[in-house]
Structure 1
Amino acid sequence: MLNDFTWNMTGYIPKHRVNLHGDGIPPYVAERIFQLEPKPPQVDSLNEYILSALQEKNLLYFSFFLHHYELQLNKRIKSFLGMDGGDLYDTDRFLDIKLSCREQMLQKLMDYDPAKGAEYATYIFPFIRDAMLRFRMGEEKWSVSSLTNYKMVRSMAWLCQNTKDAVSEFAKKYNCDLALAEEYLKVVRGIRNQQPFYVTDENGEETGEDVALDDTWNYTDILWNGIQAEKVQRAFEKLNYREQTLLEKRLAVYMACGRVSSWKDRATFEELAVKFEGSTASGAERAYRRAVDKLAELLVAEGALHAVWLKQVSRTKRKKKIVAAIYEYQADCDGELGEISLNFEDSTAEIVRLADWDTVKTNKFAIRAIAYLLNCENEKLPKEMMVAFE
């Protein structure tokens, strides 16, 4: 266990200081964050540092390893970021990924067995990639249950783009039945429009090819593919004619048969206002939002969705920026309200009071509400809204 190790850096300091009161960490420093002053003692092989760390149970030698390995690690992260959209110098993200890789390297240090012949740098190679994938998995709008499933979803996406029969190829590759392959295909189709989707090739390497149809959320795909169609249909039929028309025209979907038109063909709010005489574009948009919320409530009643309703109770501003706010929330459109207090300066939140039906152990409704609010643009924090989730 690493608890048995020491990490005594006496005599060594970071070569490049981080000015916490400046404008952030510059790229030059982020790429040299593991450099030490003075330089570590010379060895014939970097693996000697790792062997010394294990033998003496002192992570000082692990820091020596990082000092020399940092350049290679930087190249791997840059390559990963280049495939993932080209944000090579979003410095905060670069550094977050880098520290995630270091954490993974530390966790795997105890599993390293030099007797098997591979040097530590070779042994750790696939685990660094897993750390980067796990980091991105946490960033993306969609999620799966494990990193293994995440890789398989991306593999299916690559097969969809590059083979004629993705299901058969997937079943052959993972030695699984066709039914399981079909399930992965459904997942890929359901998420393909949630965000740019960079897939992996047959060797697990990123191709840099975006398989998304566009870079916007496609609520139609999420709705039709992610929820049982029967429940959606029952809920939809409970809406009035105007609400049904607003949803169908705006989402470019025909609920009677499930046919989806091009996202570019969806009606604008100006066109919807003309259809319902006496309405303005802003009025049509408000009516559409109300129809979305009503449909969400009906889907909650059908057991197809969960939803958390939010209402801002108070907020505190400093220099025109909201620094704190209190929200009431309700779980699944029923029961007594709970309360959440948020501090946007340090991105923290406190559950003041749980709503009825919120789970005591996981607080899943409160957690969902907090995650949504902390990720909102500060000037666009909602006064009142409903957040639906599966």
Structure 2
Amino acid sequence: MLNDFSWNMTGYIPKYPVDSFGADIRPYVAERIFQLEPEPPTVNSLNEYILSALQEKNLMYFSFLLHHYEPQLNKRTKSFLGVDSGDLYDTDRFIDIKLSCREQMLQKLMDYDPAKGAEYATYIFPFIRDAMLRFRMGEEKWSVSSLTNYKMVRSMAWLYHNTKDAVSEFAKKYNCDLALAEEYLKVVRGIRNQQPFYVTGEDGEETGEDVALDDTWNYADILWNGIQAEKVQRAFEKLNYREQTLLEKRLAICMTCGRVGSWKNRPTFEELAIMFEGSTASGAERAYRKAVDKLTELLVAEGALHAVRLKQKSKTKRKKKIAAAIYEYQADCDGEWGEISFNFENGTAEIIQLADWDTMITKYFANQAISYLLNCENEKLPKETLVAFEL
């Protein structure tokens, strides 16, 4: 039992301590909460840390493992958040997920048997996935009796959107009768009406294939969310035929019934270009992006969502990367512009001037802009973009 273990960290301190009562946690710090100072002693294999932890019953060695394993855990957490949608870099939630994974890693430590040949990092891999699923299961508006049932529901969702006969395929996969498979299908259909649903692929990993997402806002969530549907429908009807077709085809969603199709079968931009003769793939993509922005502006006008418009005013490069930049931002596509200064080398930002000089409302828009740009890959920092969100 872990009760027999000590966790003596004498001589080591967190390299980037988190102040729970201070300002918002920066992404740079959120990715380094397990980093120690000084550096842990060098070993030939990370598994040596786990073997030492088990032999000496000292979880200090477990902390040494986390110090080196954190980049991989960050990668998996980002992948999970990318499928999960919402705020792609909510640092509080980012840290909560990592701590959930750490708890699972600790709980499974005593079950690890090095004699079976697998290193601890390999052994713990599926349990980390389970920890993330369990974290989301606790957040979502619907619930099931266990993580096993939760996975089966998601498996049915995948089959429903990727096979012709989901009930038969599910019954075959789980060796159950058709009546039970039908019950799982009813659950899946009911969940789709409550909130966006992210399914698990056949390999057990998360996939966003059945979710109608643009990279800037959650279209499916807004579309069929109670009273919002009327606002979306009115906004959509103001688009021209080409814009409507581009959105429906590329987002794999039917605006008449709200059914979300599989992203695996959605048309490429090359195929969309063929639909509109005389266009190229890049032209179709630009047209699609413009349609997204136009619909976003219409939805803002309807009060269905909010948006912050960003324009790069200036930038400073160092070693082919943008080291710093100043962005202008506008709240809800209207009014006076504000300015934000970014230092991308250390992941910080400073509001120079609030849009509309409003300290109560537009500061929230500024924070959304900061969160979005600090999360962008450096080479993909936009010159101009429109970021939508819900308050």
Taking structure 1 as the reference length, what is the TM-score of the superposition? 0.56
Match of 1:237 in 2: 237
* Offset, 1:211: 6.0
> Residue 269 of structure 2 aligns to which amino acid in structure 1?
F
Measure, in 2, the Cα distance between the counterparts of 1:298 and 1:339: 24
SS in 2 for 1:234: helix
SS in 1 for 2:356: coil
* Offset, 1:81: 9.8
Counterparts in 2 of 1:210-225, with a 5 A limit? 210=205, 212=207, 214=209, 218-219=213-214, 221-225=220-224
Counterparts in 2 of 1:293-308, with a 5 A limit? 293-308=293-308
1:67 aligns with 2:60: yes
Q: Work out whether residues 335 and 355 of structure 1, in 8 Å CA contact, stay in contact via their aligned partners in 2.
A: yes
Measure, in 2, the Cα distance between the counterparts of 1:328 and 1:82: 30
Match of 2:335 in 1: 335
1:261–1:357 CA distance, 2 compared to 1 (3 A): farther
Q: State the structure with more CA Rg.
A: 1
* Offset, 1:225: 3.9
Give the paired residue count.
293
Structure number with higher relative contact order (C-alpha < 8 Å, ≥ 6 residues apart): 2
SS in 2 for 1:253: coil
Measure, in 2, the Cα distance between the counterparts of 1:243 and 1:331: 24
> Residue 209 of structure 1 aligns to which amino acid in structure 2?
G
* Offset, 1:226: 4.9
Match of 2:267 in 1: 267
What do the CA deviations read for 1:2-55 (whole angstroms, capped 9, x no partner)? xxxxx994799xx99529xxxxx989579859x99xxxxx9xxx7xxxxxxxxx
* Offset, 1:382: 0.5
* Offset, 1:339: 1.2
Measure, in 2, the Cα distance between the counterparts of 1:212 and 1:335: 39
> Residue 306 of structure 2 aligns to which amino acid in structure 1?
H
* Offset, 1:268: 2.8
> Residue 165 of structure 1 aligns to which amino acid in structure 2?
E
1:209 aligns with 2:227: no
Counterparts in 2 of 1:88-237, with a 5 A limit? 100=99, 149=140, 152=143, 156=150, 158-159=152-153, 161=155, 164-165=182-183, 186=193, 190-192=196-198, 209-210=204-205, 212=207, 214=209, 218-219=213-214, 221-226=220-225, 228-237=228-237
Taking structure 2 as the reference length, what is the TM-score of the superposition? 0.55
SS in 2 for 1:277: coil
Match of 1:324 in 2: 324
What do the CA deviations read for 1:88-117 (whole angstroms, capped 9, x no partner)? xxxxxxxx899947999xxxxxxxxxxxxx
* Offset, 1:320: 0.8
1:280–1:350 CA distance, 2 compared to 1 (3 A): same
Measure, in 1, the Cα distance between the counterparts of 2:78 and 2:304: 34
Measure, in 2, the Cα distance between the counterparts of 1:325 and 1:81: 26
* Offset, 1:234: 0.6
SS in 2 for 1:312: strand
SS in 2 for 1:191: coil
SS in 2 for 1:336: coil
* Offset, 1:341: 1.1
What do the CA deviations read for 1:319-365 (whole angstroms, capped 9, x no partner)? 11111111111111122111111111111111222223966379321
* Offset, 1:384: 0.4
Match of 2:346 in 1: 346
1:378–1:262 CA distance, 2 compared to 1 (3 A): same
Identity of aligned residues (%): 49
SS in 2 for 1:360: coil
Gaps in structure 1 of 5+ consecutive residues: 1-6, 20-24, 37-41, 47-64, 88-95, 105-120, 122-131, 138-142, 171-180, 199-206
Cα RMSD of the aligned pairs, angstroms, is: 5.6
* Offset, 1:309: 0.7
> Residue 273 of structure 1 aligns to which amino acid in structure 2?
A
> Residue 293 of structure 1 aligns to which amino acid in structure 2?
D
Measure, in 1, the Cα distance between the counterparts of 2:370 and 2:389: 14
Q: Work out whether residues 356 and 362 of structure 2, in 8 Å CA contact, stay in contact via their aligned partners in 1.
A: no
Match of 2:39 in 1: 18
* Offset, 1:167: 9.9
1:277–1:136 CA distance, 2 compared to 1 (3 A): same
> Residue 18 of structure 1 aligns to which amino acid in structure 2?
E
Match of 1:291 in 2: 291
* Offset, 1:71: 9.1
Q: Work out whether residues 331 and 362 of structure 2, in 8 Å CA contact, stay in contact via their aligned partners in 1.
A: no
Match of 1:52 in 2: none
* Offset, 1:264: 3.6
Match of 2:281 in 1: 281
Measure, in 2, the Cα distance between the counterparts of 1:352 and 1:30: 48
Match of 1:60 in 2: none
Q: Work out whether residues 315 and 324 of structure 2, in 8 Å CA contact, stay in contact via their aligned partners in 1.
A: yes
Measure, in 2, the Cα distance between the counterparts of 1:274 and 1:151: 41
1:27–1:322 CA distance, 2 compared to 1 (3 A): farther
Q: Work out whether residues 83 and 208 of structure 1, in 8 Å CA contact, stay in contact via their aligned partners in 2.
A: no
Match of 1:4 in 2: none
1:218–1:351 CA distance, 2 compared to 1 (3 A): same
